[in-house]
Amino acid sequence: MPPLTPSRPIEQPDSQANDSDSDVDLDLEELDPTGSSHVQATRLLGHTPSPEHRGPRIALRNIRMGGLRRTGNRSRGYGELGRNRDGNGDAVSLLEDDAQDQRYSDGSHRAGDDAPLLDEYAPRTQRRSFASDGLQSLAQIRSSFRLPSFMTSTSVNQQDADGRIDNKEDDASTSRIIAVGSSQSTRYPPNLVSNAKYTAFTFLPITLYNEFSFFFNMYFLLVALSQAIPALRIGYLSTYIAPLAFVLVITMGKEAYDDVERRRRDNEANSEEYVVLQFDEPGQQSMLSSPPKNLKMSSPKALRQSLAQRDRLSDIQEEEEQTEGRGRGYPSSYIREINKKSRDLKVGDVVKLSKGQRVPADVVILKCSTPEGAQGQIHASENRGSGELSATPLEDVSDQSESLSRKGKTPESSSSQTTGGKSSGETFIRTDQLDGETDWKLRLASALTQTLPQEEFVRIRVTGGKPDKKVNEFAGKIELMLTKQDTLNSHSDGVSLDGRAQSAPLSIDNTAWANTIIASQATTMAVIVYTGPQTRSALSTSLSRSKTGLLEYEINSLTKILCALTLALSIVLVALEGFGNTDGNIWYVKIMRFLVLFSTIVPISLRVNLDLGKSVYSWFIQRDPGIPGAVVRTSTIPEDLGRIEYLLSDKTGTLTQNEMEMRKIHVGTVSYANEAMDEVVAYVRHGFCGMPSEKALVTPSSSYNTTAGITATRTRREIGSRVRDVVLALALCHNVTPTVEEEDGQTLISYQASSPDEIAIVRWTESVGLRLAYRDRREMVLESTETGKTVVRVRILNIFPFTSDGKRMGIIVLFHEQLESSPKQEKSEIWFYQKGADTVMGSIVAANDWLDEETANMAREGLRTLVVGRKRLSYGQFQGFSTGYHEASLAISGRDAGMQRVIAEFLEHDLELLGVTGVEDKLQRDVKPSLELLRNAGIKIWMLTGDKVETARCVAVSSKLVARGQYIYTVAKLKHKDNAQDHLDFLRSKTDSCLLIDGESLMLYLTHFAVEFISVAVRLPTVVACRCSPTQKADIAKLIKEFTKKRVCCIGDGGNDVSMIQAADVGVGIVGKEGRQASLAADFSIEQFCHLTKLLVWHGRNSYKRSAKLAQFVIHRGLIIAVCQTMYSIAIKFEPEGLYKDWLLVGYATVYTAAPVLSLVLDKDVDENVANLYPELYKELTSGRSLSYRTFFVWVFVSIYQGGMIQGLSQILTEVDGSKMVAVSYTVLVLNELLMVAIEITTWHPVMIMCIIGTFLVYIGSMPFLGRYFDLDFLLSWGFLWRVLAIGSISLIPPYAGKLIRRTMKPPSYRKVQGI
């Protein structure tokens, strides 16, 4: 092993030491392929000019020509470089060999001298230690340099083998490779947003099919078609076609209007213009404008021929730079900004997004540039340190980002920044239209592309998985290739043989999905990965199923009975005649004609009336001042609101406000809450003030002034230190970002985070004296609220965000000790902080005897608990962790599990337990009386939450979901089937208890004992399910529906409740803190949980009762005219001739009876106060007695009696067949319907009076125009009047008397409570 060459001092970029290019003079032994190792790499690095000049990758020339790469030396020629080199012959030979190869390890499995020197992301073998600290830090740098492949033959082979293993794991059928800025070899769908249901070709077939799938419409279609047959024709064809056409036109017109509106909204989104970067070839650009310099583009062959005449090394260097487009030659491309409509965007396009813009497709973020001053509020211009740490390994593990010390960048390095701004690498997005969460999400550009000039984007290749609907998951890889052509080569894996060179992992943090909104000031460059129907938004949006109310099914079954009655009646009439044939009429033709005549028994107006009624109910709900903000999104099921028997509710944001407030903190020996928080303020004031110097900062090891000014005992000093530590931990361990906005000239600071718990904790730390003043993805600054001075400043090295599976979040930070200087690499304090649920943190923190007890106490108080811990890491421990973590982060398959294993191995054990926090989630307004009222109404309430068992139990008790004294039976952590049945047996014997079950146990039951479990659970008054996933919530709703056949209502406020809401018979969404996704997906949207009681008990009751009465009346209206027709047919010797023809038939169903019958939708049997006072009235509705077979047949008998009396007496008192009989019977028929409506009304409304009187006057006024059907002279006689009155009285008095007798003998419940 050759001796190490002495390290040279790092000079300033423009210093005289660099003019001689002395940094190029390297021992050729360093290039010896047999003796090279990573130690030799450190010798190379010892001559590196300055870490600030490193790019995303640096090849051999970057090390040899560091001085030339600087701005001050750009004018020097390459010819000067090769002079005065030692071992010139060996160098030439070596370079000749490499020039002949001209191979690159960029994924095309080529190797050569253009390969980068060091693998930025590959794990490193153990390095030798140097005597000097500075030299050692340079020796251990990993993030910027790579070894050429010819220097590490042994390791290359090993890594190549590893690469083959990786290729086997990466299934090509499940991933896509995208060349940025280029045309893709694979064809992807266009970026079209389409929510339309129909096209011009499919509209008629689909709508007609949907319409005629209803029994009503198909029946009347057949009747109308029968009129095309002369033998079956009765009256005008329009008599039968017009009503059907009217219904179809109304329904199809509504569908067409809705679809046109959807297309209009789609077209607005598809026509939205975006700025797209157009990458032109350098040659194309030169034809448009002269290049910046007169350059000679030489082929590799020409260069090799010129080696004898020019300095060989300088030519190779120039060739490299020209080939890669990064030297004094052309860049890889030239950029033009063009505007494209959203529909024209394609996979691979680079879009430029700014604040407020909708993201048009699923993108991977390449670069973020923040305008100067956008973040500059507090510490953006503060001293970032001398940059002495910028070459340490701490940099490359900080989210794989660029140097955290952004001071002292050379003009070259800053040339890649967007003009007029600084390259921050971070942006915020709003995802409320995607996942329902209103909080901003931080998104990061990949470190590989953040510092890359935009012209070099064409050398980027992105690998992503197949389109997926998981909006919170993404695993991919981004690679920097040597040339644009390499990005198009699907067999190319990287720029070195190890398969990982110049590549970086991509996660959800590097993406922005379609329909999210850019929320921050940053200009974001992003490449489109998924378009149109393959976006997360499109895949996760399931078309909501068309919901049909229970009343519709009941009416459908009744109409089938009516149809059978029609057929039976027709056959009976023909049979009574003896199936004889008359002139031109065969017996089966007679049956068909009778079917046409009796078609009014199945009233086509029924659907029209019911649909109009539903619209009225929806209007009442949306205009009710008692439930402001209510929106009806599905107008087909308001009657189901009155039939609910099971209510499935979310907890957070539904029963609770989702407004968090820090209420309690426990530090092991003492607990602080309410007024005792003043003591915490005192501890914080003395713990973070009074530093030895103005520039000194607080670190966890700071021992001064913990309890200064307090006459403190030892115990009190210990408590003060504990309080300071836990407050500091809470102020640092979070994902909260302070944002500054100006409104009306005032500067407002607000906090943004994905969890309201974290915002509550950060607000609490501010209230006790420690404010989060500044935060980006690299560092955090904390200020004292008392003095306004910076007291803590940390560099963020790693963040481990909260996940529903992990139930914890952590952060690794490095503390600054002085305000104006960066921390020393070896001496700085590195700490790992973590907070999470007690269920997972209990095994992570060190052994203690108080954690379980205190978390249980807080949970009983209804507080959401978080356990906080910390661990100090040595420099070596952190290095070991970062290396392993980085390796795991590069894996495409099994990435998350691998990363978690590394975290568990290095960090998550033996944490120092600092304390437990208790955050209160306040109950919604009037939740207690609302739940009690619903329970009294006979509704079984289930609470499904993702929260822990103890918190759910506490909320269930405090909200009165569980009655006082009610036994709560808990089933938790059930992992085996053995004793699962025992729990069910107990519950069968105690059906008045409340079941409290966790998600793990619930999954076991749903998997193995679904029917047994649901059969027991539905008998219980209350069930509380904790730790439920959105899928489990939906499964429970479906199970209850299928098992009980009862109506199920689900209510929630977040994106995680959407699946449950859509699975329910009635879905109710609350517009809450978690966004509008639940309310948009729901059938009914409200603003408060307490509004649900009025929605169900009042509007649900009215909707069901009114529709039931309306449906029965419309059926009665059709039946009575059919009975009249039957009587007439019998009188004329069973001939199928029409009694009322043409206008009389149409007018009876429309002008003369429609308005009074429809006015029944304004009826109400009780007022609102009585409905709320006696919720037990609601329980009767669930039995469906208002519209049952019993009530149906009662109306059938009434119709038969009235129709028989009207037609029979008319024929007896006038004539069997003639205009006088028609005038009397038709007039009595119309008046009978008007008076029957009046008899059925419970509570009069002015509109009802107007409809009845107005319709009567319209009929009287139209009689002179009915001379075609009536004997007008007879209408003016007393004989007509007394006949009408007599027949009408006989028809009406008995049914009305029967109703009065029944009401007296067996009054309905609402009459009892009204005292009538």
Orientation angle between helical segments 550-576 and 587-597, nearest 10 degrees: 140
Tell me which DSSP letter residue 847 carries.
Answer: P
CA atoms within 13 A on the CB side of 1271: 15
Coil, strand or helix at 1085: strand
Cα distances from 377 to residues 172, 386, 419, 748, in angstroms, run: 47, 22, 20, 11
If you count DSSP H runs as helices and E runs as strands, how many of each does the chain have, helices first?
A: 47, 34
Question: CA-CA distance, 543 to 932, in Å (whole number)?
Answer: 35
Question: CA-CA distance, 1118 to 1110, in Å (whole number)?
Answer: 13
Query: For the residues of 516-530, what is the DSSP string, one character each?
Result: -EE-SS-EEEEEEEE
Question: CA-CA distance, 1098 to 306, in Å (whole number)?
Answer: 94
Q: Give which of 210, 22, 107 is closest to 500, Cα–Cα.
A: 107
Q: What's the chain's length in residues?
A: 1316
Question: CA-CA distance, 910 to 925, in Å (whole number)?
Answer: 43
Question: CA-CA distance, 1069 to 1049, in Å (whole number)?
Answer: 11
- Burial (0-12, 13-18, 19+ Cβ within 10 Å), 473: middle
The catalytic residues are 650
Q: Cα-flanking dihedrals φ and ψ of residue 691, to 5°?
A: -65, 160
Question: CA-CA distance, 593 to 596, in Å (whole number)?
Answer: 5
Where are any strands of DSSP class E within 250-386?
A: 273-280, 334-341, 350-353, 362-371
Q: Give which of 452, 444, 402 is closest to 427, Cα–Cα.
A: 444
| Residues 6 or more apart whose Cβ sits within 8 Å of residue 78 | 68, 311, 314, 315, 317, 318
Question: CA-CA distance, 1158 to 1156, in Å (whole number)?
Answer: 5
* End-to-end CA gap in the chain: 110
**1030 and 1059 in contact (C-beta within 8 Å)?**
yes
Cα distances from 135 to residues 6, 7, 398, 616, in angstroms, run: 10, 7, 22, 82
Q: Give which of 657, 650, 544, 643 is closest to 1095, Cα–Cα.
A: 643
Structure tokens, 511: 């993406």
Q: Give which of 234, 384, 398 is closest to 811, Cα–Cα.
A: 398
Structure tokens, 618: 């929806």
Question: CA-CA distance, 673 to 471, in Å (whole number)?
Answer: 39
Residues 995-1008, buried b or exposed e (16+ Cβ, 10 A)?
A: bbbbbebbbbbbee
Adjacency order of strands within the sheet including 517-518: 440-444, 426-430, 517-518
Adjacency order of strands within the sheet including 476-480: 175-179, 460-465, 476-480, 503-506
Question: CA-CA distance, 1245 to 1167, in Å (whole number)?
Answer: 13
Tell me which DSSP letter residue 1088 carries.
Answer: -
Amino acid letter at 555? I
Please state whether 789 falls in left (phi above 0), alpha (psi between -120 and 50) or beta: beta
Across the chain, which distance is largest between two alpha carbons, in Å? 136
Structure tokens, 959: 């909200």
**1118 and 582 in contact (C-beta within 8 Å)?**
no
Sign of CA dihedral 387, 389, 393, 394: negative
